[in-house]
């Protein structure tokens, strides 16, 4: 990356593009993006993303869609093997399911900035075709399937949420963890606790499960069990 001209490093995570849980959230995110773009309108853009995270990949595709034909560089970390700095343990390589796991030491140790490259038009068109299909389908949820992001029903994770629930109270945090790690075998990060919270509340309202013990500050501090017959 050239040091003679400024660059805007974009770590994209657009939850409205993934779940669109509310118009207010979407408007806020779009306003924040517009403000950033305006402040950095003259800077060279370098977008960091991974196709292993549904939210981050959706954020990148949506950003690129609105960018049109304006040039940019990308740092695609999907298949990059990351090595931890030696002081953090044995430097066994691993793949990154989310940019949220990056820190300055990891970026510096692996010299990830060297991976920045111009986005060629052939790849840009492929990304635009993929996101254009998602926009046309207008689904409420998008998930990773293979190396693409695809539309999915809003109930996509419901069976995974219900399967570990028993007749006895179980920690909500444990159930959420099981859902999250269920895709880690494929190296994917498909969802987060905010979205799972909304779905679990929906399942409770439908009478499939019961929730108890959650606090105003922490939903995951609560417990869940199967709904009992009246």
Last residue of a domain, one of 112, 141, 170: 141
Identify each DSSP E strand in the chain by its residue range: 7-11, 44-49, 73-76, 81-82, 94-95, 117-118, 141-145, 148-152, 170-171, 209-212, 223-226
* Percent with pLDDT over 90 in the chain: 61
What is the b/e burial string over 96-116, where b = at least 16 CB atoms within 10 angstroms of the residue's CB?
bbbbeebeeebeebbebeebb
The total domain count for the chain is 2
User: Where is mean pLDDT largest: 12-16, 20-24, 73-77, 93-97?
Assistant: 73-77
Q: What is the pLDDT of residues 32-69, one digit of tens each?
A: 666 666 556 667 899 999 999 999 999 999 999 988 88
CATH number of domain containing 196: 1.10.10
181 and 159 share one domain: yes
Q: Is the overall model pTM greater than 0.85, yes or no?
A: no
Answer yes or no: is pLDDT of 218 > 50. yes
- Which backbone phi and psi does 211 adopt, to 5 degrees? -120, 140
> How large is the average pLDDT for residues 163-170?
96
Q: Is residue 146 part of a domain?
A: no
60 and 125 share one domain: yes
Range of the domain at 54: 7-141
Last residue of a domain, one of 141, 171, 199: 141
- Which backbone phi and psi does 72 adopt, to 5 degrees? -160, 160
Q: Is residue 117 part of a domain?
A: yes
Answer yes or no: is pLDDT of 18 > 80. no
175 and 203 share one domain: yes
Angle, CA of 167, 170 and 173, to the nearest 5°? 145
């Amino acid at each position: 990356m050239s040091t003679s001209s400024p660059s805007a490093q974009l770590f994209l995570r657009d939850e409205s593009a993934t779940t669109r849980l509310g118009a207010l959230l979407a408007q806020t995110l779009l306003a924040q993006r517009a403000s950033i773009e305006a402040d950095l309108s003259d800077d060279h853009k370098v977008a960091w993303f991974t196709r292993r995270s549904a939210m981050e990949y959706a954020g990148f595709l949506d950003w690129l869609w609105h960018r049109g034909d304006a040039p940019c560089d990308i740092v695609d970390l999907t298949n990059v093997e990351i090595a931890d700095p030696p002081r953090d343990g044995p430097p066994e390589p691993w793949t990154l399911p989310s940019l949220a796991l990056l820190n300055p030491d990891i970026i510096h140790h692996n010299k990830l900035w060297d991976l920045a490259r111009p986005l060629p038009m052939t790849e840009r068109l492929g990304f635009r075709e993929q996101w254009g299909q998602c926009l046309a389908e207008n689904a409420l949820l998008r998930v990773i399937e293979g190396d693409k992001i695809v539309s999915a029903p809003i109930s996509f994770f419901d069976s995974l949420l219900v399967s570990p629930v028993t007749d006895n109270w179980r920690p909500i945090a444990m159930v959420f963890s099981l859902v999250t790690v269920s895709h880690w075998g494929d190296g994917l990060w498909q969802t987060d606790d905010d979205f799972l919270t909304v779905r679990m509340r929906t399942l409770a309202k439908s009478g499939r499960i019961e929730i108890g013990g959650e606090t105003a500050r922490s939903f995951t501090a609560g417990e869940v069990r199967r709904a009992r017959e009246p």
